Chains A and B, each alone.
Chain A
Amino acid sequence: MTDLERRYRALLRVLPRWYRAQREEEMVATFMAHRRDPNDRELGWPGRREFWAVLALAGSTRITAQHGSPRAVVLGDVVRLAALLILLAQVPRTVASTADLAASPVFVLRLDYVYYYLVTAAYLSTTITLIALLGGRPRLARVCAAVAVATSLVAVVLSALPVAFEYGLGRPGPAVALFSSVWVAIACVVVGFTREAPAPPVRPWSLAAGCIALLTVVWMAIRDTIGNGYWLPVLGDLGSSSGWMVIVAAAVLPFVGRRLGSSVGRWALALAIVAAALVPDRLSYLQIARQIDVFDGVRGPLVATSIQAALLATVAAVLGSVGVYTYRRLPAPATGASAA
């Protein structure tokens, strides 16, 4: 065995075992037939294009849209569902931050304002990503997803600047926690919504996004007129505590499950991902909630945020266990070599 073949076989180890059992010898034969130069065979490496192609194949054999093992198809469904749910969970933030931005028409070139503009741009990009996916425009969705990642990363970098503290931005930790769910969603979009992925059903997702946006607008309209009870911060944090949507979704899961039938495992896994993605944000918010004034002796924001974080973690653990149990009951791919 030459060094090149050894290196290629080492690269192929990123593929699932069942796939290697079926394809490894054939792929190695084809690869080595293409690299005939004796020097290349001894000293060469697989090459950048081949490297990325093998990584892409490793992903598509584990998470796929239509073809492949039942487990890979289920994981594909889970990832797409998680992407849509997390993007949906960003809608209140998009509405709230965009409305606040629209209400302050003057552009201010100051660090804290620029940070806020970037945050708004990141959230807005996630919602346009959702709209693009529902509109059957996956390429546009990926562009918007890239914009969301870029703007959020720049915002994190800004919050890490030494002068950021003077503008009330604090450390980058909260910013990272704030965007963690966005990054998980974008990763799910990139992995799940490939060329072959089926377009999601437009009506239910549009309806859900519309209702959430409407509720956010209504809340923003009435939040200043209904007083300052100690409970207000609990609800007033609606924009960033969209993890409640997950709790509600998890609560209705058993009822929805009657209609979903065999899809319960997929929903459970997807919701577990969503809940886990939102936990860092809630944990980070505990620091802020601790500093908010006490109303009537009750630390409303602190208690509410703690409950939210605990519930999200519980939902992630319980639904994750249910989902993994269901997933493991699916037939595993055969590892024996067979003709295609």
Chain B
Amino acid sequence: MIQRPMSEQAFLVLTVLAAAGPKHGYAIMQAAEALNANQPALPVATLYGLLDRLVADELVEGDREEIHRGRLRRYYRVTPAGLGALAAEADRVAANVRAARRALRSTRPHTSPSGGVV
């Protein structure tokens, strides 16, 4: 099977969990939205589908359950395998960013009279 890069949403969720320890669904949504400032929040169903896959891949695991104002909150934490996957993906993305920056430095773009890059 072809090994595909991690999806951006999975990357965000793992980053959020790695940064701040166990979090419940809504906290993950909020943190991911803050991290990815220009994008709207993940739909709830998308978030739980993603968490299902991450749990099945053993990158994330359940931490504990709480009842908050009469509602169930289930907390999730990133596993050591999840940290490893996140590190590998961060390295891959960082390498791509370095390559893009090198390419941008070497192109020396011309500037149009109106100030735009041509």
Contacts and interface: CB of A to CB of B under 8 A. Distances in A.
Contact of B44 (A25, A34, A61, A196): A34
A30 B49 contact: no
B115 interface: no
Nearest to B49: A57
Contact of B26 (A23, A29, A67): A29
Interface in B31-65: 40-41, 43-49, 51-53, 55-57, 61-62, 65
Interface of B is mostly: mixed
Contact of A68 (B47, B52, B74, B76): B52
Contacts of A33: 26, 71
A26 B45 contact: no
B71 A54 contact: no
Interface stretch (B1-9, B11-19, B100-108): B1-9
B44 A30 contact: yes
B97 to A, nearest CB: 23
A77 B4 CA distance: 19
B55 A57 contact: no
A195 B43 contact: no
Contact of A26 (B29, B46, B72): B72
A26 B48 contact: yes
A30 B31 CA distance: 13
Nearest to A33: B26
A25 B61 CA distance: 18
A162 to B, nearest CB: 45
A7 B82 CA distance: 35
Contact of B51 (A56, A61, A340): A340
B56 A67 contact: yes
A31 B43 CA distance: 8
B89 to A, nearest CB: 15
Interface of A: 23, 25-34, 47, 49-50, 52-54, 56-57, 60-61, 66-68, 136, 195-196, 198-199, 339-340
Interface of B: 1-2, 4, 7, 24-26, 29, 40-41, 43-49, 51-53, 55-57, 61-62, 65, 68, 71-74, 76
15 contacts: A28-B71, A30-B26, A30-B44, A33-B26, A34-B26, A34-B29, A50-B43, A57-B48, A67-B52, A67-B53, A67-B56, A195-B7, A340-B51, A340-B52, A340-B62
Given A30-B29, A57-B48, A68-B56, 7 more contacts: A26-B74, A29-B73, A31-B44, A34-B29, A53-B43, A67-B52, A340-B74
Q: Lowest 5 A-B CB distances belong to which pairs?
A: A53-B43, A29-B71, A53-B45, A67-B56, A30-B25
